[in-house]
Amino acid sequence: MSSSEPAVDDVLDTPFFLRWLTAAATSVSREAARLTDLDSAIGDADHGTNMQRGFAAVAEALEKEPPGSPGATLILAGRQLISKVGGASGPLYGTLLRRAGKALGDAERITPQQLADALRAGVDAVAQLGGAAPGDKTMLDALLPAVEALGVGTGSFAAAGEAAEKGALATVPMLARKGRASYLGERSVGHQDPGATSSALIIGALAEAAR
């Protein structure tokens, strides 16, 4: 863990969450073309465009009316993603953030461990909504390793970001069992999942926000 990154007993406030989601919006915008290229191989070729539009709306909403707590910040972001991101991604990413936000409640300051627990609740909700499991070549293959890394005693945001990136790369040899890519059968093998890739970008933004 870098000296500038919060320790497990530190606290995270609303400005931290605003930095996180702003960094996520920047990262998604920067990588939108790559996300769309990945999606063109096994999806509808619109993931990058959809995610860029959704996170631009998140950044705009947070700047226009900054929420008063970490939980409220995530809930607002989730609502924006549900309303602005097309296809299945909107409900899934929106559920991730909204459920995590609800788990945090109204607390104005939380610990990294509480964030890890809240993200776990969000990931569990995504799994239930999408009916997916680890190894199905979905966003869960990046999110689950990330929350596990973050939730370990001395887990760090950097470790979570690295775990998410490795998880996304690990989807390349997988056979898709859920989502649009599952229709391709064996042809889905050899391609990195775009949802896992965008998930890794969002988790990676945590470490950026902590610097």
**Long-range contacts of range 34-37, CB-CB < 8 Å, 24 or more positions apart?**
34/197, 35/194, 35/197, 35/198, 36/194
Dump pLDDT digits (tens) for 18-62. Answer: 999 999 999 999 999 999 999 999 988 999 999 999 999 999 999
Structure tokens at 95: 């559920």
* Identity of residue 131: G
Model pLDDT for residues 114-127, shown as the tens digit of each residue? 999 999 999 999 99
Angle subtended by helix axes 14-30 and 70-84, to nearest 10:
30
CATH tag, 12-210: 1.25.40.340
pTM value is 0.93
- Nearest residue to 143 (alpha-carbon basis) of 110, 167, 116, 121: 167
In sequence order, what DSSP letters do the residues of 83-133 get, joined into one string?
HHS-TTHHHHHHHHHHHHHHHHTT-SEE-HHHHHHHHHHHHHHHHHHHT--
The residues spanned by each domain of the chain are 12-210
Residue located via tokens 């887990």:
155
